[in-house]
A and B are shown apart, each in its own frame.
Chain A
Amino acid sequence: MRAAIGGDAASYRQLLDSLSHSLRAVTRRGFAQAGAALNDVEDVVQETLLAIHLKRHTWKSDQPLGPWVRAIARHKLIDALRRRGRRIEVPIEAVLDFLAADEPRSDLDRQDAARLVDGLRGRQQVIVRAISLEGQSIREVAERLGMNEGAVRVALHRGLKALAAMHRKGHEE
């Protein structure tokens, strides 16, 4: 995370990737305990990753990363369960064991998230889509759209912020 805060994209990607696995497990367990449907788990994992990304300046670099990540994950999990109108119900051990697997769920999980990207406005949508779904680099996107890299960076950052906001609002209706 220290390297990532310093702007090292490769180590940051590695970190987020390994975090996503444990987040998925934690979120599944939380959903199972609350008796919530599991098809939203990936949605919450993504929302948590976004929060980790957008709030990483609230982590003190002289502190261990674990408690900070857990606090963010807990906040997002509670938030997600509350928005879905669930209460913590009886945990069922059998369900837990059954769900212990660490595999992403089917495409059904992703429909919500895909719809979220569709909700982004013009340039932001094009840029977020190009960098995430199409795997292009900032430079490639900048060349394709005839923008400078700084502008692409700003649009990407705003797009991610907008995504996080949509996650929050999407469930409040």
Chain B
Amino acid sequence: MRTDDLIAALAADAQTVSNPIGRTLWLALTGGAVVAALIFFFGIGFRLDLASALETPRFLFKCALTLTLLVSAMGLMLHIARPEAVPPAWAMALAAAPLLLAIAAIAELMVVPSSDWTKRLVGTNALVCLVLIPALSAAPLAALLLALRQGAPAHPMLAGAVAGLVAASVGATLYATHCQDDSPLFVATWYVIAVMIVTLVGALIGARLLRW
């Protein structure tokens, strides 16, 4: 086929245009989050003392942290789904959540006597955290990876990892309202491990699935 002939075929297909990739990604995030929320409300549920927890700074920080990650990772994903270079500001914004967490963990170490450190870090249900965050992230991750297939990421593995981060922050935000452990030391350990697992899965799938 000559290139001119190909161009004729492409021009004949001019009317078939997909939705803008940004819209597709938002729809995927919304759909995935709704499924995760349904699983959460019917299968897991809020912690029983949610009302009083809402008045404690540690609980509020935990929720603010996962939402920060959600916003920064989603902002990055909207750019990484396109072929052009990612604006540095969005890449740097991703550091916001880890930075906040580091500050909170250091503050916690200063406020809490060292004899309590281990107790706070180990918490009461670390294993549940490691299972439920990835479980709640599964639907958003699947939806986002499928949506990213419509995109044109310059780095498929990286795009998959960012999808993992977005999905994990959805899962972690939901799980945070169930989890009794509010210490930043707990969050810095177990939440981080759980988020890393989902990110790694996203990267591995992305490397295969998102090539174009």
Contacts and interface: CB of A to CB of B under 8 A. Distances in A.
Interface of A: 4-5, 7-10, 12-13, 16-17, 20, 24, 42, 45-46, 49-51, 53, 55-60, 67-68, 71-72, 75, 104, 110, 113-114, 116-117, 128, 131-133, 135, 137-138, 153-154, 156-157, 159-160, 164, 168
Given A104-B2, A110-B2, A135-B8, A9 B83 contact: no
Interface of B: 1-22, 81-85, 150-152, 154, 211-212
A132 B9 contact: yes
A150 B6 CA distance: 20
B144 to A, nearest CB: 15
A133 B16 CA distance: 20
B6 A138 contact: no
Nearest to B84: A71
A43 to B, nearest CB: 10
Contacts of B22: 60
Given A8-B14, A53-B10, A131-B9, 14 more contacts: A7-B17, A9-B15, A13-B7, A13-B14, A45-B3, A49-B3, A50-B6, A58-B151, A67-B84, A71-B154, A75-B83, A132-B1, A132-B6, A135-B8
Q: Is the interface of A mostly helix, strand, loop or mixed?
A: helix
Contact of B3 (A20, A55, A116): A20
B211 A168 contact: yes
B68 to A, nearest CB: 25
- In the A-B complex, list the 8 residue pairs whose CB atoms are closest, starting with the nearest: A13-B11, A71-B83, A132-B5, A132-B9, A7-B15, A55-B152, A57-B18, A9-B14
B11 A16 contact: yes
Q: Which interface residue of B10, B15, B19, B154 has the most chain A CB atoms within 10 A?
A: B10
Q: Is the interface of B mostly helix, strand, loop or mixed?
A: loop
A128 B11 CA distance: 12
A12 B81 contact: no
A34 B150 CA distance: 30
B20 to A, nearest CB: 5
Contact of A57 (B12, B13, B84, B150): B150
A40 to B, nearest CB: 13
Nearest to A53: B10
Given A71-B85, A132-B8, A160-B9, A5 B3 contact: no
Contacts of B150: 57-58
Given A72-B152, A114-B1, A55 B85 contact: no
A51 B7 contact: no
Contacts of A51: 152, 212
Nearest to B11: A13
Given A55-B83, A55-B212, A58-B21, A116 B9 contact: no
Nearest to B2: A110
A168 B2 CA distance: 19
B10 A50 contact: yes
